[in-house]
Structure 1
Amino acid sequence: MDNERLIRILTKKLRGKYNLPHWPLRLDVENAVNEALQQTDELDNLLIQLRNRAVRFSYRKQDGTLREAFGTLKPCLLEEYRAGSKSRSRSTNDCVHYFDLERNAWRCFCPENFITIHELP
């Protein structure tokens, strides 16, 4: 489904439910859809990078604090850190799991709490 069609469908559903004027609502929906797609692209980029190298990135923890992590999903790095022998947390499938290279343990975070990837020096 293309973005324009999604925006039209959401605008129509929300307009009927909340009885709001069309154009201001459409602009809000369009902005929300575009922001969500951008965040999804950034998260996809993080997952690709985690599978290929060690990555420094930030996310907001459940308690609201900011967490800067250094992690990976690259198989040869996981072997080097013996991550396979350490148990993963049992959180839901909605979480992004990674191996924290500084804490030598598996960690996870909610995708909506992802903030940014930091460039390594």
Structure 2
Amino acid sequence: MDNERLIRILTKKLRGKYNLPHWPLRLDVENAVNEALQQTDELDNLLIQLRNRAVRFSCRKQDGTLREAFGTLKPCLLEEYRAGSKSRSRSTNDCVHYFDLERNAWRCFCPENFITIHELP
């Protein structure tokens, strides 16, 4: 579905439910859709990078504090680091799982809490 069609559908549904003026609501919906798509692209980029190398990134923890993590999903790195780890990957839906190379343990975060990827020196 293209973005314009999605924006029209959401605007129509919300306008009927909340009885708001069309154009201000449409602008809010358009901004929200564009922001969500940008965040999705950034998260997809993180997942690609995690599968290919070690990545330093930031996310917000459930308690609201910031976590700067250094993790990976690259198989050859996982084998090297996991040998000394006692933790196991848990199956939790709707979470992004990664192996934290600094803590030598599996970690996860909610996708909406992802902040940014940091360039490695």
Fold agreement, TM-score > 0.5: yes
1:13-63: CA deviation from partner (whole Å, max 9, x where unpaired): 000000000000000000000000000000000000000000000000000
Deviation of 1:115 (Å): 0.1
Deviation of 1:100 (Å): 0.1
CA distance in 1, matches of 2:3, 2:84: 40
CA distance in 1, matches of 2:107, 2:81: 14
User: What TM-score does the superposition give when structure 2 sets the normalisation length?
Assistant: 0.95
Aligned pair count reads 121
CA distance in 2, matches of 1:49, 1:86: 25
Deviation of 1:93 (Å): 1.3
Compared CA separation, residues 5 and 43, structure 1 to 2 (3 A): same
Structure 2: unaligned runs, 5 residues or longer: none
Deviation of 1:87 (Å): 4.0
- How big is the alpha-carbon RMSD for the aligned residues of Structure 1 and Structure 2? 1.5
Compared CA separation, residues 84 and 102, structure 1 to 2 (3 A): closer
User: What TM-score does the superposition give when structure 1 sets the normalisation length?
Assistant: 0.95
| Worse-superposed segment, 89-98 or 108-117 | 89-98
Structure 1: unaligned runs, 5 residues or longer: none
CA distance in 2, matches of 1:11, 1:88: 44
| Worse-superposed segment, 80-89 or 110-119 | 80-89
CA distance in 1, matches of 2:83, 2:30: 42
Identical-residue share of aligned pairs (%): 99
